[in-house]
Amino acid sequence: QVQLVESGGGLVQAGGSLRLSCAASRSIFSINTNINTMAWYRQAPGKQRDLVARITNGGTTNYADSVKGRFTISRDNAKNTVYLQMNSLKPEDTAVYYCNAGTYRSVSDSYTPRDYWGQGTQVTVVS
């Protein structure tokens, strides 16, 4: 069973930075050939869970408009770890951040999350 464990959340002032990490217990890509992408989602209280950023196994990235230019997703395949560097944080970035493994299809430019989720890490940005 693959486990995803997030870390790095916390309380930060607006304008500050945080770096989230998502460590996989095993190489997800080797156990499920449909998995070709890792992603970060976030969910604020009372709101739906939204896709923040994703990175394919080839290193192609994509970001939600709300975080473009401020967040950077990256990966270390040797460590089975995905990162989310968050700069210039705003109070509206406050949410629980979740790591996910899923499938990206270039034909439709669509990402489908699979049933691999971490437990989430809280990010709170205060003004």
List the end-to-end C-alpha distance of the chain, in Å, as a whole number. 40
Per the prediction, the chain carries an average pLDDT of 93
Look at residue 32 in the predicted model and tell me its pLDDT.
78
- How much is the pLDDT for 89? 98
pLDDT at position 25: 81
pLDDT of residue 68: 98
User: Helix (H) and strand (E) counts for the chain?
Assistant: 1, 11
pLDDT tens figures, 2-59: 789 999 999 999 999 999 999 988 777 777 788 899 999 999 999 999 999 999 988 9
